[in-house]
Structure 1
Amino acid sequence: MKKLPTWFFATAAIFALCGMIWGIQMSASHDHTLSPAHGHLNLIGFVSMSIFGTYYALTPMAAESRLAAVHFGLAFVTVVVLTPGIALAIADQSEALAQIGSVLAVISMALFAFVILRHGVGCTESHPFHDHEGRPKPAE
């Protein structure tokens, strides 16, 4: 399935653009108070989403699973909750969103680990030169 990796990569690019714009704004204002939130936006929003997209592009059988779609939704919600949550915590307003976002991040990564352990890595779909487990068939 090519659609899910595309969603991961497109979302990662949007989060990266938001992070870049935010970084420029912090630099221009000389106020780097929210740097930890900015860093998490870049790390989880861009880096993690890109890694997830790469995995699903390389492992189409995993991308076709229902868990993969759940993983995308969970990873997206994690970024949307965690980033403003950290900003609110820094502003001494509330730590609740940051705490919820942190738990969501752990669940998202645990789900990713489960998907990897369940599906392996790489092309595991039916292929004329691979066996049923995705390994290359010996030459005849």
Structure 2
Amino acid sequence: MRDLSKWFFAAGALCALAGMAWGIQMSATHDHTLSPAHGHLNLIGFVTLTIYGIYYALTPDAAQSKLAPIHLGISLLAVIILVPGIAMAISGAGETLAKVGSIVTIATMGLFIFMILRHGVGVKQ
């Protein structure tokens, strides 16, 4: 997939923007109840997606693999499930979504490890 790293970077930047806005909202309302969900949005959404994007930018062989777009999709799904799941768990609406999101998040890291071991890091010479 061409521009795979671009999609990881764009998604990461969107998560950072949403996390910043959410942080401002929490500060303005003096209600930090959902700060763990906010923190996971920043960590899994911004930091992790951006690191994945850096890896794929540095390792074009990995970015061209058939697993790379799947990695993107699962990574986005992880953020979409995990962050609301944590917010729901904190709010008392159940922990199921947070648990599912956690498993999907672990799967994205497992796939990342696989990609590193399979393709290495950087351009092959």
User: Normalised by the shorter chain, which TM-score bucket?
Assistant: over 0.9
TM-score normalised according to structure 1 size: 0.88
Matches within 5 A, 1:84-99: 84-99=84-99
1:2–1:57 Cα contact (<8 Å) kept: no
Q: Which runs of 5+ in 2 are unaligned?
A: none
What is the Cα-based RMSD across aligned positions, in Å? 0.8
Higher relative contact order (CA 8 A, sep 6+): 2
Equivalent residue, structure 2, for 1:129: none
Counterpart code for 2:84? P
Deviation at 1:51, TM superposition (A): 0.2
Deviation at 1:94, TM superposition (A): 1.1
Counterpart code for 1:5? S
Aligned residue pairs, count:
125
Equivalent residue, structure 2, for 1:44: 44
Partners of 1:97 and 1:64 in 2: how far apart?
Answer: 32
SS class of match (2:93): coil
Larger Rg: 1
SS class of match (2:22): helix
The percentage of counterpart residues that share the same residue type is 60
Counterpart code for 1:29? T
TM-score normalised according to structure 2 size: 0.98
Counterpart code for 1:42? N
Equivalent residue, structure 1, for 2:5: 5
Q: Which runs of 5+ in 1 are unaligned?
A: 125-133, 135-140
Deviation at 1:68, TM superposition (A): 0.7
Equivalent residue, structure 2, for 1:60: 60
Matched, 1:101 2:101: yes
Deviation at 1:2, TM superposition (A): 4.8
Instruction: After superposition, give the CA deviation of every residue in 1:93-124 in whole Å (9 maximum; x if it has no partner).
Output: 11010000000011000000000000000012
Structure 1 runs of 4+ with >3 Å offset: none
